[in-house]
Amino acid sequence: MNDRVHAIDQSSGLGYGVSAAERNKVLRNTYWLLALSLLPTVFGAWVGVTTGITASLGGGLGLMVFLGGAFGFMFAIEKTKNSAAGVPVLLGFTFFMGLMLSRMIAMVLGFKNGTDLIMMAFGGTAGVFFLMASLSTVIKRDLSGMGKWLTVGAVVLLVAGIINVFVGSTAGMLAMSVLAILIFSGFMLFDLKRIVDGGETNYISATLSLYLSIYNVFQSLLLLLGIGGGSND
Protein backbone atom coordinates (compact mmCIF):
# COMPACT_ATOMS: atom_id res chain seq x y z
CA MET A 1 0.00 0.00 0.00
CA ASN A 2 1.58 3.29 -1.06
CA ASP A 3 0.64 6.89 -0.31
CA ARG A 4 -2.03 7.03 -3.02
CA VAL A 5 -5.62 6.45 -1.94
CA HIS A 6 -6.89 3.08 -3.12
CA ALA A 7 -10.30 3.18 -1.48
CA ILE A 8 -13.26 5.34 -2.43
CA ASP A 9 -12.67 8.98 -1.53
CA GLN A 10 -15.45 9.70 0.95
CA SER A 11 -15.12 13.46 0.52
CA SER A 12 -16.27 13.32 -3.11
CA GLY A 13 -18.14 10.06 -3.20
CA LEU A 14 -16.25 8.98 -6.32
CA GLY A 15 -13.88 6.08 -6.62
CA TYR A 16 -11.11 7.61 -8.72
CA GLY A 17 -8.52 6.64 -6.12
CA VAL A 18 -6.63 9.94 -6.24
CA SER A 19 -5.45 11.66 -3.09
CA ALA A 20 -6.61 15.16 -2.19
CA ALA A 21 -3.03 16.41 -2.43
CA GLU A 22 -2.69 15.13 -5.99
CA ARG A 23 -6.05 16.58 -7.01
CA ASN A 24 -5.04 19.97 -5.64
CA LYS A 25 -1.72 19.78 -7.45
CA VAL A 26 -3.39 19.02 -10.79
CA LEU A 27 -5.88 21.85 -10.26
CA ARG A 28 -3.14 24.31 -9.31
CA ASN A 29 -0.94 23.37 -12.28
CA THR A 30 -3.94 23.57 -14.60
CA TYR A 31 -4.77 27.09 -13.47
CA TRP A 32 -1.18 28.23 -13.90
CA LEU A 33 -0.85 26.71 -17.36
CA LEU A 34 -4.25 28.05 -18.38
CA ALA A 35 -3.20 31.56 -17.39
CA LEU A 36 0.09 31.11 -19.27
CA SER A 37 -1.73 29.83 -22.37
CA LEU A 38 -3.60 33.11 -22.70
CA LEU A 39 -0.36 34.98 -23.43
CA PRO A 40 0.36 33.22 -26.77
CA THR A 41 -3.33 33.62 -27.62
CA VAL A 42 -3.16 37.38 -27.16
CA PHE A 43 0.14 37.52 -29.05
CA GLY A 44 -1.27 35.44 -31.91
CA ALA A 45 -4.34 37.69 -32.12
CA TRP A 46 -2.09 40.78 -32.14
CA VAL A 47 0.07 39.32 -34.92
CA GLY A 48 -3.01 38.49 -36.97
CA VAL A 49 -4.57 41.93 -36.54
CA THR A 50 -1.40 43.93 -37.20
CA THR A 51 -0.22 41.91 -40.20
CA GLY A 52 -3.63 41.03 -41.66
CA ILE A 53 -2.29 37.54 -42.34
CA THR A 54 -5.68 35.94 -41.70
CA ALA A 55 -7.77 38.54 -43.53
CA SER A 56 -8.12 36.33 -46.60
CA LEU A 57 -9.03 33.21 -44.63
CA GLY A 58 -12.76 33.33 -45.16
CA GLY A 59 -15.27 30.72 -46.25
CA GLY A 60 -14.10 27.20 -47.03
CA LEU A 61 -10.39 28.06 -47.03
CA GLY A 62 -10.51 29.50 -43.52
CA LEU A 63 -12.48 26.51 -42.32
CA MET A 64 -9.96 24.04 -43.72
CA VAL A 65 -6.99 25.92 -42.22
CA PHE A 66 -8.69 26.18 -38.84
CA LEU A 67 -9.84 22.57 -38.62
CA GLY A 68 -6.60 21.18 -40.02
CA GLY A 69 -4.44 23.24 -37.68
CA ALA A 70 -6.62 22.77 -34.59
CA PHE A 71 -7.02 19.00 -34.89
CA GLY A 72 -3.36 18.61 -35.86
CA PHE A 73 -2.26 20.45 -32.73
CA MET A 74 -4.71 18.56 -30.51
CA PHE A 75 -3.40 15.26 -31.84
CA ALA A 76 0.17 16.41 -31.09
CA ILE A 77 -0.82 17.54 -27.57
CA GLU A 78 -2.37 14.15 -26.87
CA LYS A 79 0.83 12.42 -27.97
CA THR A 80 3.15 14.68 -25.94
CA LYS A 81 1.07 15.37 -22.82
CA ASN A 82 3.21 13.07 -20.66
CA SER A 83 6.55 14.45 -21.89
CA ALA A 84 8.53 17.68 -21.64
CA ALA A 85 7.29 18.68 -25.09
CA GLY A 86 3.67 18.81 -23.94
CA VAL A 87 3.66 22.39 -22.64
CA PRO A 88 5.44 23.96 -25.67
CA VAL A 89 3.09 22.14 -28.05
CA LEU A 90 0.09 23.37 -26.07
CA LEU A 91 1.40 26.95 -26.13
CA GLY A 92 1.97 26.66 -29.89
CA PHE A 93 -1.65 25.59 -30.22
CA THR A 94 -2.88 28.59 -28.23
CA PHE A 95 -0.83 30.91 -30.46
CA PHE A 96 -2.47 29.34 -33.50
CA MET A 97 -5.90 29.77 -31.97
CA GLY A 98 -5.18 33.44 -31.26
CA LEU A 99 -4.10 33.86 -34.86
CA MET A 100 -7.35 32.30 -36.06
CA LEU A 101 -9.33 34.58 -33.75
CA SER A 102 -7.66 37.70 -35.12
CA ARG A 103 -9.99 37.94 -38.12
CA MET A 104 -13.02 38.34 -35.87
CA ILE A 105 -11.16 40.69 -33.54
CA ALA A 106 -10.14 42.87 -36.48
CA MET A 107 -13.77 42.98 -37.60
CA VAL A 108 -14.95 44.04 -34.13
CA LEU A 109 -12.17 46.62 -33.84
CA GLY A 110 -13.60 48.15 -37.01
CA PHE A 111 -16.53 49.39 -34.90
CA LYS A 112 -16.20 52.65 -33.02
CA ASN A 113 -16.88 50.80 -29.77
CA GLY A 114 -14.86 47.75 -30.78
CA THR A 115 -12.42 47.90 -27.86
CA ASP A 116 -15.31 48.12 -25.39
CA LEU A 117 -16.99 45.10 -27.00
CA ILE A 118 -13.80 43.04 -26.69
CA MET A 119 -13.44 43.97 -23.03
CA MET A 120 -17.10 43.10 -22.41
CA ALA A 121 -16.60 39.69 -24.04
CA PHE A 122 -13.47 39.13 -21.97
CA GLY A 123 -15.24 40.15 -18.76
CA GLY A 124 -18.23 37.97 -19.57
CA THR A 125 -16.01 34.97 -20.25
CA ALA A 126 -14.08 35.51 -17.01
CA GLY A 127 -17.38 35.73 -15.14
CA VAL A 128 -18.62 32.46 -16.61
CA PHE A 129 -15.34 30.73 -15.75
CA PHE A 130 -15.28 31.90 -12.15
CA LEU A 131 -18.93 30.90 -11.72
CA MET A 132 -18.26 27.40 -13.07
CA ALA A 133 -15.10 27.11 -10.96
CA SER A 134 -17.07 28.02 -7.85
CA LEU A 135 -19.86 25.58 -8.67
CA SER A 136 -17.36 22.77 -9.24
CA THR A 137 -16.23 23.01 -5.63
CA VAL A 138 -19.70 23.01 -4.05
CA ILE A 139 -21.62 20.54 -6.22
CA LYS A 140 -21.35 17.10 -4.64
CA ARG A 141 -23.17 14.98 -7.20
CA ASP A 142 -21.43 13.06 -9.97
CA LEU A 143 -21.59 15.05 -13.23
CA SER A 144 -19.97 12.42 -15.45
CA GLY A 145 -23.29 11.82 -17.20
CA MET A 146 -23.13 15.35 -18.62
CA GLY A 147 -20.16 14.45 -20.79
CA LYS A 148 -21.94 12.53 -23.52
CA TRP A 149 -24.71 15.10 -23.89
CA LEU A 150 -22.25 17.99 -24.05
CA THR A 151 -20.20 16.10 -26.63
CA VAL A 152 -23.28 15.49 -28.77
CA GLY A 153 -24.12 19.18 -28.52
CA ALA A 154 -20.59 20.18 -29.53
CA VAL A 155 -20.66 17.85 -32.56
CA VAL A 156 -24.03 19.25 -33.65
CA LEU A 157 -22.64 22.78 -33.30
CA LEU A 158 -19.57 21.88 -35.34
CA VAL A 159 -21.66 20.43 -38.16
CA ALA A 160 -24.06 23.38 -38.07
CA GLY A 161 -21.11 25.78 -38.12
CA ILE A 162 -19.60 24.10 -41.16
CA ILE A 163 -22.94 24.30 -42.98
CA ASN A 164 -23.38 27.95 -42.03
CA VAL A 165 -19.98 28.84 -43.48
CA PHE A 166 -21.52 28.20 -46.88
CA VAL A 167 -25.07 29.38 -46.07
CA GLY A 168 -24.01 32.60 -44.34
CA SER A 169 -27.10 32.99 -42.14
CA THR A 170 -26.78 35.75 -39.53
CA ALA A 171 -29.72 34.33 -37.57
CA GLY A 172 -28.01 30.94 -37.63
CA MET A 173 -24.79 32.48 -36.32
CA LEU A 174 -26.65 34.15 -33.46
CA ALA A 175 -28.48 30.95 -32.49
CA MET A 176 -25.28 28.89 -32.61
CA SER A 177 -23.43 31.48 -30.53
CA VAL A 178 -26.04 31.31 -27.77
CA LEU A 179 -25.96 27.51 -27.81
CA ALA A 180 -22.15 27.51 -27.81
CA ILE A 181 -22.07 29.68 -24.69
CA LEU A 182 -24.42 27.27 -22.92
CA ILE A 183 -22.66 24.10 -24.08
CA PHE A 184 -19.11 25.24 -23.39
CA SER A 185 -20.06 26.75 -20.03
CA GLY A 186 -21.33 23.26 -19.24
CA PHE A 187 -18.03 21.81 -20.42
CA MET A 188 -16.16 24.15 -18.05
CA LEU A 189 -18.17 22.87 -15.12
CA PHE A 190 -17.82 19.27 -16.25
CA ASP A 191 -14.03 19.48 -16.72
CA LEU A 192 -13.40 21.41 -13.51
CA LYS A 193 -15.51 18.92 -11.54
CA ARG A 194 -13.48 16.05 -13.01
CA ILE A 195 -10.28 17.67 -11.78
CA VAL A 196 -11.75 18.40 -8.35
CA ASP A 197 -12.98 14.79 -8.04
CA GLY A 198 -9.72 13.26 -9.32
CA GLY A 199 -11.06 12.06 -12.66
CA GLU A 200 -8.43 14.03 -14.59
CA THR A 201 -4.82 13.71 -13.43
CA ASN A 202 -2.95 15.21 -16.40
CA TYR A 203 -2.82 18.97 -16.13
CA ILE A 204 -1.96 19.44 -19.83
CA SER A 205 -5.10 17.58 -20.90
CA ALA A 206 -7.09 19.49 -18.30
CA THR A 207 -5.73 22.81 -19.55
CA LEU A 208 -6.53 21.95 -23.17
CA SER A 209 -10.14 21.10 -22.31
CA LEU A 210 -10.69 24.27 -20.28
CA TYR A 211 -8.91 26.44 -22.84
CA LEU A 212 -11.18 25.22 -25.64
CA SER A 213 -14.26 25.99 -23.55
CA ILE A 214 -13.01 29.47 -22.65
CA TYR A 215 -12.06 30.15 -26.26
CA ASN A 216 -15.48 29.14 -27.56
CA VAL A 217 -17.37 31.14 -24.93
CA PHE A 218 -15.27 34.25 -25.64
CA GLN A 219 -15.61 33.87 -29.40
CA SER A 220 -19.38 33.40 -29.15
CA LEU A 221 -19.82 36.37 -26.81
CA LEU A 222 -17.70 38.52 -29.10
CA LEU A 223 -19.78 37.52 -32.11
CA LEU A 224 -23.04 38.27 -30.30
CA LEU A 225 -21.76 41.64 -29.11
CA GLY A 226 -20.34 42.49 -32.52
CA ILE A 227 -23.58 41.72 -34.34
CA GLY A 228 -25.89 43.17 -31.72
CA GLY A 229 -23.87 46.04 -30.28
CA GLY A 230 -21.37 47.13 -32.91
CA SER A 231 -21.57 50.86 -33.64
CA ASN A 232 -19.99 53.05 -36.32
CA ASP A 233 -21.59 56.25 -35.05
Q: Residue 57 is part of which domain span?
A: 20-229
Instruction: Answer whether residue 7 is part of any domain.
Output: no
Instruction: Answer whether residue 14 is part of any domain.
Output: no
Q: What is the pLDDT of residue 233?
A: 59
| pLDDT digits (tens), the chain, 233 positions | 334 333 334 344 454 667 888 888 999 999 999 999 999 999 999 999 999 888 877 777 888 888 899 999 999 999 999 998 999 999 999 999 999 999 999 999 988 888 999 999 999 999 999 999 999 989 888 888 888 899 999 999 989 988 888 887 888 889 999 999 999 999 999 999 999 888 889 999 999 999 999 999 999 999 999 887 666 65
3 Cβ contact partners less than 8 Å away, ≥ 6 residues apart: 19
Cβ neighbours, 10 Å, residue 30: 24
pLDDT tens by residue, 40-76: 999 999 999 999 888 877 777 888 888 899 999 999 9
Q: What is the pLDDT of residue 12?
A: 44
Q: What is the pLDDT of residue 4?
A: 36
Q: What is the pLDDT of residue 227?
A: 83
Instruction: Answer whether residue 5 is part of any domain.
Output: no
3-state secondary structure the chain: CCCCCCCCECCCCECCCCCHHHHHHHHHHHHHHHHHHHHHHHHHHHHHHHHCCCCCCCHHHHHHHHHHHHHHHHHHHHHHCCCCCHHHHHHHHHHHHHHHHHHHHHHHHCCCCHHHHHHHHHHHHHHHHHHHHHHHHHCCCCCCCHHHHHHHHHHHHHHHHHHHHHHCCHHHHHHHHHHHHHHHHHHHHHHHHHHHHCCCCCHHHHHHHHHHHHHHHHHHHHHHHHHHHCCCC
Instruction: Answer whether residue 13 is part of any domain.
Output: no
Instruction: Answer whether residue 2 is part of any domain.
Output: no
Instruction: Answer whether residue 8 is part of any domain.
Output: no
Cβ neighbours, 10 Å, residue 122: 14
59 Cβ contact partners less than 8 Å away, ≥ 6 residues apart: 165, 166
Instruction: Answer whether residue 141 is part of any domain.
Output: yes
Q: Using CA atoms, how far apart are residues 63 and 53, in angstroms rounded to an integer? A: 15
pLDDT tens by residue, 4-13: 333 334 344 4
Query: How many structural domains comprise the chain?
Result: 1
Instruction: Answer whether residue 69 is part of any domain.
Output: yes
Q: What is the pLDDT of residue 62?
A: 81
- The model carries a pTM of 0.88
Q: What is the pLDDT of residue 38?
A: 95
Q: Using CA atoms, how far apart are residues 16 and 9, in angstroms rounded to an integer? A: 7
Q: What is the pLDDT of residue 108?
A: 92
Q: Using CA atoms, how far apart are residues 148 and 220, in angstroms rounded to an integer? A: 22
Q: Counting Cβ atoms within 10 Å, is residue 86 exposed (0-12), middle (13-18) or buried (19+)?
A: buried
Quick check: 56 and 227 in contact, CB under 8 A?
no
Q: What is the pLDDT of residue 6?
A: 30
